[in-house]
Amino acid sequence: METTTRYLSTLERALWLLTFFDIKSPKWRVSDLSRQTGISKSTVSRMLQTMEKHDFIEKDIVTGQYGLGVRFLEFAAVVSYGQDLRRCAQNEMSWLVNETGECVILTVHSSGEAVCIDKRDSSRPVHITYLVGGRASLHAGASGKILAAFMNPTDIERFIKEKGLYRYTDKTIVDPDEFRKDLERIRQQGYAVTCGELDSGIMAVAAPIFNNESQIAGGLSVVCLPERLDTVLDEIVEKTKKAANQISLKMGFRMNANISVNSSVAGISSQGK
């Protein structure tokens, strides 16, 4: 407990330190930052050096001053991209929740996980819901698998090696070869359907969203209780693919563009209208 508290205290101070880098004062010397914050020079120097190793801070070798690093440009691009996707998906998500009566979520890939960046809740008395900002693994559940299926194979192998295939339920695929085959099947058919892989008693349908560079931009999923989806599964699949396809068009994707697996283009283009 003491170690955790000490770690959080250090992290909080490091984050607070970053707030002093702004438009008016983009560059700081260690001594000036120490005087401004009240943190000792040795501690400020150690924090800056640690952040420099991870590209959060960069040092001007001529002046000796520190400024924000390129890592924040990457973060800014991710936030901007997520906002663009959310704007493009607004109408289609509302349409899909009205058509299906079930929870609809929008996800993107981040650090080996599927992150929910927007949602539309079902109006049914009993329904599934997700938190915006919630994370799920790429290997369990339709929202994660639809992203993994269209990712670079090298990234998938890295995910398997570094993250591993954790068993969430008795239906979670934990064998790497079986997981690879499942992703290939999803690519070929252009959508994912799962039941109870991440959470027991939850079924989901997901379709891919592509950007103007014909790369996977996100996933659109319908999530509900299995007993409500079984009888209308084909209809839900078609509507989810149609909505995802329309979002892809808004993101600049063109139906005749080449992506990693050609059949996946056919898998979504057939539902264009």
Between CA 105 and CA 143 the distance in angstroms is 8
Find how far residue 221's CA is from the centre of its chain. 13
pLDDT score at 132: 86
pLDDT digits (tens, 9 = 90+) for 174-194: 999 999 999 999 999 999 999
- Contacting residues for 254 by C-beta, under 8 A, at least 6 apart: 214
pLDDT score at 51: 94
- Which CATH number is correct for 77-269, 2.60.40.420, 3.40.50.80, 3.30.450.40, 3.40.630.30? 3.30.450.40
Between CA 147 and CA 161 the distance in angstroms is 18
| 2-69 carries CATH number 1.10.10.10 | yes
* Confidence bin at 231 (pLDDT 50/70/90): confident
pLDDT digits (tens, 9 = 90+) for 88-125: 999 999 999 999 999 999 999 988 899 999 999 987 77
Q: How many residues does the chain have?
A: 273
Whether the predicted pLDDT of 262 surpasses 50: no
DSSP state of 28: B
Percent of the chain with pLDDT over 90: 60
Between CA 184 and CA 163 the distance in angstroms is 20
pLDDT score at 260: 45
Q: Where are the domains of the chain?
A: 2-69, 77-269
Find how far residue 118's CA is from the centre of its chain. 11
Between CA 234 and CA 128 the distance in angstroms is 20
How confident is the model over 23-50, as a mean pLDDT? 93
Between CA 179 and CA 157 the distance in angstroms is 11
**In this structure, are residues 266 and 189 in contact, taking their beta carbons and an 8 Å threshold?**
no
pLDDT digits (tens, 9 = 90+) for 40-65: 999 999 999 999 999 899 999 889 99
Helix, strand or coil for residue 82? Answer: helix
Task: At 89, list the tokens.
Answer: 């998906």
